[in-house]
A and B are shown apart, each in its own frame.
Chain A
């Protein structure tokens, strides 16, 4: 059923694409037929598969690290009020910095490695996760904390048995948002001199003015994004099954 809900819009979109191109005589400069784009991917399958894997790797490394560090720093902020007061405004302000502009500098720091792209993906994931995890922990009913304390619970007990599970729904909201951001970070990171990856493919297609290759790269990006998003949604469904309650 869930699979159907995913596949149906995909098929519909594909049909719409093919149909529109054929019926409305859309110039291939704007939208080449889907068959042609898929054919281009098929013809260069190893290259696309490699680009997919490379970009997925960069985004996932940054994404996972950003999620872990984000939750950890939210916990630190929750425990130490002064730390929160000192750093949280900076956090909010730094959200308005066009972070992607740091791409050039990060690539300079790490060279043209997986780390450079992962670092950008990390930065983009880290903030939303921290903000949401903190909000989730702050929203915990103080009476609930009092109850656990009356059972003799230690800080650690309270964190593992109450604060973290309570914050999970909001953490996953942030993770779903960050999945796309992490990928965007990886793609833009590749624009600064990378030769392999979905972002590099996009850039190459732009320089050669190949619309078909560009759409093929967009589809590859969609595949990477869909993979990350799908895994996050799956884990969320397993872990946060009680979500409707909150």
Chain B
């Protein structure tokens, strides 16, 4: 266990050491060790109910870890609430705010003047494919656009670490593929440290510098796989032998864990 999940180099932006979490008698997480380097894109996959959301909430600072484990940001242990930009599965856009005002929500809560925040948002809108839609309300947008507004809101909450929880889970396959490429593009331009949760192995490999596989409950890190595929990545990559070899390897690991969950009757 010394090599798996050890510090990702000297510049570990986010470091989890032996993080566990119980809910009453149920153990959701068991000694998770995970390090993420500055500017790294880490994707995380695992069977349903493996404690991904628990891990996520701990990193977002919404949930305390059990005593004994530690979560370090830039090497220091502190409350993470408000220090990590987090984007939940659902876009959670407020129906009474238009695109710009939804995007500036976090900035507004931080106390930035609205006018300045709106200016920033306006200048970012083109990057997020929302040019011309600044005044629209969420209910007037497509699913993909809503998700881009939510992402923009996350980016405007200017934090070094971003947590994305299955942000494209609810989109149709075509929109999803477009959004993935677009996210990589944005990421290469804004260079944030990203932890990205997904169900989809293709998505995990396509996006990540590194894929982390979680075990069945209680969740822990079962496997880490560095993805050395060249960037920038394009859809043709999905059909290359290298991609398929990695996919085979990860599928085996995930399936083994899914079977455990299935046998335990959790699905």
Contacts and interface: CB of A to CB of B under 8 A. Distances in A.
A162 B82 contact: no
Given A162-B94, A244-B139, A150 B105 contact: no
B88 A147 contact: yes
Interface string A133-170: 00000000101101111111100010001100100100
Interface in A100-143: 141, 143
A149 B81 contact: yes
Contacts of B57: 146
Given A141-B92, A147-B88, A242-B96, A152 B109 contact: yes
Contacts of B138: 245
Contacts of A2: none
Contacts of A146: 57, 60, 62, 88
B109 A157 contact: yes
Interface string A81-109: 00000000000000000000000000000
A143 B81 contact: no
Contact of A144 (B89, B92, B110): B92
A56 to B, nearest CB: 30
B69 interface: no
Contacts of A149: 62, 81
A246 B95 contact: yes
Most chain-A Cβ atoms within 10 A of its Cβ — which of B61, B82, B96?
B96
Grouping DSSP codes into helix (H, G, I), strand (E, B) and loop, the B interface class, with mixed when no group exceeds half, is loop
Contacts of B6: none
A146 B85 CA distance: 12
B151 interface: no
A245 B109 contact: no
A244 B60 CA distance: 32
Grouping DSSP codes into helix (H, G, I), strand (E, B) and loop, the A interface class, with mixed when no group exceeds half, is helix
Contacts of B105: 148, 151, 161
B187 interface: no
A220 to B, nearest CB: 37
Contacts of A162: 94
Given A152-B109, A153-B109, A161-B109, A147 B94 contact: no
B154 to A, nearest CB: 10
Q: How large is the interface on B (under 10, 10 to 19, 20 to 34, 35 or more residues)?
A: 20 to 34
A151 B110 contact: yes
Interface in B125-148: 137-139
B168 interface: no
Contacts of A143: 88-90, 92
A242 B139 contact: yes
B97 to A, nearest CB: 9
Nearest to A151: B106
Contacts of B82: 150-152
Interface string B63-106: 00000000000000000011011101110101110000000011
B41 interface: no
Contacts of A148: 105, 109
A151 B111 CA distance: 11
A240 B109 CA distance: 22
Contacts of B206: none
Given A149-B62, A150-B62, A150-B84, A245 B95 contact: yes
Q: Which 5 A-B pairs have the closest CB atoms?
A: A152-B82, A242-B95, A151-B106, A245-B95, A245-B139
30 contacts: A141-B90, A143-B88, A143-B92, A146-B57, A146-B88, A148-B105, A149-B81, A150-B60, A150-B62, A150-B81, A150-B82, A150-B84, A150-B86, A151-B105, A151-B109, A151-B110, A152-B110, A153-B109, A161-B94, A161-B108, A162-B94, A168-B96, A240-B96, A242-B95, A242-B96, A242-B137, A242-B139, A245-B95, A245-B138, A246-B95
